[in-house]
């Protein structure tokens, strides 16, 4: 069954649809997490947490948005994993990175989020101006909100947003093999 129809049924409270959605995506999420964590028990726990979050937030999934459900659920899985590391006070550097794991994404921001967990992007971040590098790390590596970053750096949220946007544009140009500082804007 097409994902959107299944999700729509879930959004209308159809318990059977939730069961079908879980059965369809459980192996996908578990394989992603086992590959990411290299820990069977942790992967099982995080997979369960992911589906609890899916059930609680299915109403927020935008059926007309650009993101596919598969992208949404993997992003949710990765966020659960990062939250686990944060709660256990492990460094983001301790998170295993897989250069071969690339998801099909539809927005520049999703691409950057996916790529930020690869070594190449971490190196690319170091090439950005300090002001852009710092806000991107706070947003995507530490998971802070714009408000939290704004309070921490004592800057306006729109300044933070602008720095993140400009940094992402430069990173995208790096990924595409272009000069991040030349041409265009």
The whole-number pLDDT of residue 67 equals 75
Please tell me the predicted confidence (pLDDT) of residue 185.
Answer: 38
Q: What is the mean pLDDT of residues 10-20?
A: 91
Question: 60 or 179, which is more confident?
Answer: 60
Q: For 113-127, what is each residue's pLDDT tens digit?
A: 554 544 456 677 788
Model's pTM, two decimal places? 0.49
What architecture is the 3-94 domain classified under in CATH? Orthogonal Bundle (1.10)
Ordered DSSP codes for 68-137: -HHHHHHHHHHHHHHHHHHHTT--GGGS---TT-----SSHHHHHHHHTTSHHHHHHHHTS-HHHHHHHI
Quick one: average pLDDT of 105-110? 47
Report the range out of 79-83, 104-108, 141-145, 174-178 with the highest average pLDDT: 79-83
Q: Give the rounded percent of residues in the chain with a pLDDT score beyond 90.
A: 24
Architecture in CATH for domain 108-175: Orthogonal Bundle (1.10)
Q: What residues does each domain of the chain span?
A: 3-94, 108-175
């Amino acid at each position: 069954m097409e994902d959107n129809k299944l999700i729509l049924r879930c959004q209308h409270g159809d318990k059977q649809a939730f069961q079908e959605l879980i059965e369809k995506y459980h192996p996908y999420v578990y394989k992603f997490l086992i590959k990411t964590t290299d820990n069977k028990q942790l992967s099982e726990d995080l997979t369960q947490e992911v589906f609890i979050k899916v059930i609680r937030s299915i109403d927020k999934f935008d059926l007309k948005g650009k993101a596919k459900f598969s992208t949404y659920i993997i992003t949710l899985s990765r966020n659960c994993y990062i939250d686990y590391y944060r709660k256990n006070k492990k460094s983001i550097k301790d998170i295993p990175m897989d250069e071969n794991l690339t998801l099909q994404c539809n927005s520049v921001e999703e691409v950057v989020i996916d790529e930020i967990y690869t070594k190449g992007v971490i190196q690319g971040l170091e090439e950005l101006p300090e002001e852009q590098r710092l806000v991107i790390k706070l947003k995507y590596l530490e998971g802070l909100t714009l408000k939290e970053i704004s309070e921490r750096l004592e800057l306006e949220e729109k300044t933070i947003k602008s720095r993140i946007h400009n940094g992402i544009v430069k990173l995208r140009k790096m990924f595409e093999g272009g000069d991040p500082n030349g041409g265009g804007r």
